[in-house]
Amino acid sequence: MSSLKFLGGCREVGRSAVLLDTGAEKILFDYGIKLSDPEAEDGVGRPEKANLNLDGVLLSHCHLDHSGLIPRLYNRGYHGSVYSTATTFDLSKTLWEDSIKIAHMEGRELDFLDSDLKEVERNHRRVTYGQTVPLGGCDVSVYDAGHVPGSTSFFVDTGDKTILYTGDMNTIDTRLMKGANPNYPNVDVLITETTYSDIDHSPRKELEENFIEKVKERLAKDGVVIVPSFAIGRSQEMLLVLREHGIKAPVYLDGMSVEATKKILRYPEFLRYPDELKKAYHDARTPGDDDDRKEALEGPSVIVTTAGMLGGGPFAYYIKEIYDEENCSILMTGYQVEGTAGRKLLDTGLYRPDTLDLDVKCYYELFDFSAHVGRTELFDYIEQVDPEKVVAMHGEKAQEFVEDLKKRGYEGVAPEKGERVDI
Query: What dihedral do alpha carbons 276, 144, 57, 156 form, nearest 10°?
Result: -170
Tens of pLDDT along 93-106?
999 999 998 888 87
pLDDT at 40: 60
Q: Do residues 394 and 194 lie in contact, with contact meaning Cβ atoms separated by under 8 Å?
A: yes
Sheet arrangement for strand 132-135: 132-135, 138-144, 152-157, 162-165, 189-193, 389-393, 411-413
pLDDT at 51: 44
Residue 107 has what pLDDT?
Answer: 82
The domain limits of the chain are 3-199+371-422, 204-366
Over the stretch 37-67, which tens digit does the pLDDT of each residue have?
Answer: 665 655 554 444 444 589 999 999 999 999 9
Q: Is CATH 3.90.550.10 correct for 3-199+371-422?
A: no
Residue 158 near residue 140 (C-beta atoms within 8 A): no
Tell me, what's the pLDDT at 45?
A: 47
pTM for the complete prediction?
0.94
Q: What is the pLDDT of residues 153-191, one digit of tens each?
A: 999 999 999 999 999 999 999 999 999 999 999 999 999
- What are 294-343's pLDDT values in tens digits? 999 998 999 999 987 888 779 999 999 999 999 999 999 988 877 889 89
Sorted by sequence, the CB contacts under 8 Å of residue 284 that are 6+ apart come out as 239, 251, 252, 253, 304
Helix (H) or strand (E) holding 70: helix 70-75
CA distance 148 to 176: 8
* pLDDT on residue 47: 42
> Is residue 394 predicted with pLDDT exceeding 80?
yes
Q: What is the pLDDT of residue 48?
A: 42
pLDDT at 311: 82
pLDDT, residue 41, reads 57
What is the rounded distance in angstroms from the CA atom of residue 238 to the CA atom of residue 210?
13
Please report the pLDDT score of residue 340 as a whole number: 85
pLDDT of residue 50: 43
Taking only the tens place, the pLDDT of each residue in 231-269 is 999 999 999 999 999 999 999 999 999 999 999 999 999
What's the CA gap between 421 and 21, in Å, rounded? Answer: 10
Instruction: Please report the DSSP string for 232-276 in residue order.
Output: TTHHHHHHHHHHHTT--S-EEEETHHHHHHHHHHT-GGG-SSHHH
- Burial of 261-277, coded b for 16+ CB within 10 Å and e otherwise, reads bebbbebeebbbbbebb
In the three-class reduction of DSSP (H, G, I as helix; E, B as strand; rest coil), residue 33 is classed as: coil
How would residue 80 be classed by pLDDT, with cut points 50, 70 and 90? very high
The angle formed by the CA atoms of residues 270, 256 and 213, to the nearest 5 degrees, is 80
Cβ–Cβ < 8 Å for 344, 350: yes
Answer whether 58's CB lies under 8 Å from 85's CB: no
Q: Residue 19 above 70 pLDDT? A: yes
pLDDT in tens, 345-383: 999 999 998 778 999 999 999 999 999 999 999 999 999
Q: CA-CA distance, 234 to 333, in Å (whole number)? A: 7
Q: Tell me the C-alpha distance between 147 and 370, whole Å.
A: 9
Under 8 Å between Cβ of 168 and 371: yes
Residue scoring higher pLDDT (339 or 411) = 411
Max distance between CA atoms of the chain, in angstroms, equals 66
Average pLDDT of the segment spanning 79-88? 97
Residue 42, pLDDT score: 58
Residues in the chain: 423
Record: fold of 204-366: Rossmann fold (3.40.50)
Average the pLDDT over 122-145 and give the result.
Answer: 98
Say if CB 258 and CB 281 are below 8 A apart: no
Supply the DSSP symbol for 37. Answer: B
Question: How much is the average pLDDT of 416-420?
Answer: 94
Q: Could you tell me if 296 and 285 are in contact, meaning their C-beta atoms sit under 8 angstroms apart?
A: yes
